[in-house]
């Protein structure tokens, strides 16, 4: 049985879309897809349409930026004073709804997000063959980065980015591996990630701004992401170790963006610029994702 999971991503939604394009042949008949944050969108598209060139599909449904500022001028200042987030997700919600609403799933889908009221991580699973109610809300909720996008109301509860707790949908992965009972056929587990497991922050030059507190909050979020990445790696190692002890054969593959490239693009397009991303930058990120897959596959080939 094959499975594919996506990490958090931010701007690297585009990079992971490029990576997906490079592994389509390997996941064409996958039965499980899962993701957190930007990865939730990619996982959902795969579960609804089957593994496809997700970037091309998204472009066909969008002629503008996925995210837009709340105000045309002085957005940071006015949003800080009068809004819950720097950007609004109305256009993103419209696009995602158009892509997935009232469509049956071709594979089982796992999405992770954070309950804003209880600050607890929650993982939801939608089974193959079902048509999930308001799936688009679950996707946008998982993508709603604190301070950047507003939380999403689902059945009277507010949910936001799953990346607050995890970098990969580790609970869904654990559930899948733990409940995989077929010891004759290997479980194929592939993860596409926006950062390596050893990702670390390098101190940036301090911002001289009236809203330094907000930038400090961004930095703390990134710092916590380093912690969650490290913790998820420890949990994943334990999951795979326990699988081996139970005589379960798990073929694990991970493709990730390098520390260097992650830093380069985080600097080029900080979170508060997500509403003004240029198309050429997105194309560069997609091509970066494709090249990552090619380079790793070539390296593995040369080993033999």
pLDDT per position in the chain (304 positions), as tens?
A: 999 999 998 889 889 999 999 999 899 899 999 999 999 999 999 999 998 767 677 666 555 566 666 666 556 655 665 566 667 788 889 889 999 999 999 999 999 999 999 999 999 999 999 999 999 999 999 999 887 788 999 999 999 998 989 999 999 999 999 988 777 888 999 999 999 999 887 765 555 454 555 566 666 666 778 888 999 999 999 999 998 877 788 999 999 999 999 989 988 887 666 666 777 888 899 999 999 999 988 777 655 4
Read off the tokens for 163.
Answer: 């990346």
Pinpoint the alpha helices (H) of the chain. 13-22, 38-49, 54-60, 75-82, 90-100, 135-143, 170-178, 212-245, 259-268, 279-302
CA distance between the termini of the chain: 26
Angle (nearest 5°) at CA 77 between 74 and 82: 110
- pTM across the whole model: 0.88
């Amino acid at each position: 049985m094959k499975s594919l999971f996506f990490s958090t991503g931010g701007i690297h939604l585009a990079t992971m879309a490029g990576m997906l394009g490079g592994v389509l042949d390997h996941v064409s008949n996958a039965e499980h897809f899962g993701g957190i944050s930007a990865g939730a969108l990619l996982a959902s598209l795969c579960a609804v349409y089957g593994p496809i060139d997700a970037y091309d599909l998204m472009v066909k449904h969008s002629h503008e930026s996925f995210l837009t500022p709340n105000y045309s001028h002085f957005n940071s200042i006015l949003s800080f004073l009068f809004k819950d987030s720097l950007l609004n997700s109305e256009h993103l919600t419209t696009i995602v709804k158009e892509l997935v609403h009232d469509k049956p799933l071709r594979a089982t889908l796992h999405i992770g997000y954070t309950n804003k009221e209880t600050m607890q991580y929650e993982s939801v699973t939608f089974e193959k063959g079902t048509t999930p109610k308001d799936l688009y809300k679950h996707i946008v909720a998982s993508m709603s980065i604190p301070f950047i996008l507003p939380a999403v109301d689902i059945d009277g509860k507010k949910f936001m980015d799953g990346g607050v707790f995890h970098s990969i949908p580790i609970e869904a992965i654990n559930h899948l591996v733990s409940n995989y009972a077929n010891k004759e056929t290997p479980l194929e587990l592939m993860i596409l990630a926006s950062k390596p497991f050893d990702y670390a922050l390098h101190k940036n030059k301090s911002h001289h701004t009236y809203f330094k507190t907000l930038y400090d909050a961004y930095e703390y979020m990134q710092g916590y992401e380093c912690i969650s990445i490290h913790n998820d790696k420890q949990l994943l190692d334990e999951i795979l170790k326990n699988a081996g002890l139970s005589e379960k054969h798990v073929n694990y593959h991970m493709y990730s963006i390098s520390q260097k490239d992650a830093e380069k693009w985080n600097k080029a397009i900080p979170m508060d610029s997500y509403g003004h991303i240029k198309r050429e930058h997105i194309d560069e990120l997609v091509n970066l994702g494709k090249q990552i897959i090619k380079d790793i596959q070539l390296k593995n080939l040369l080993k033999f």
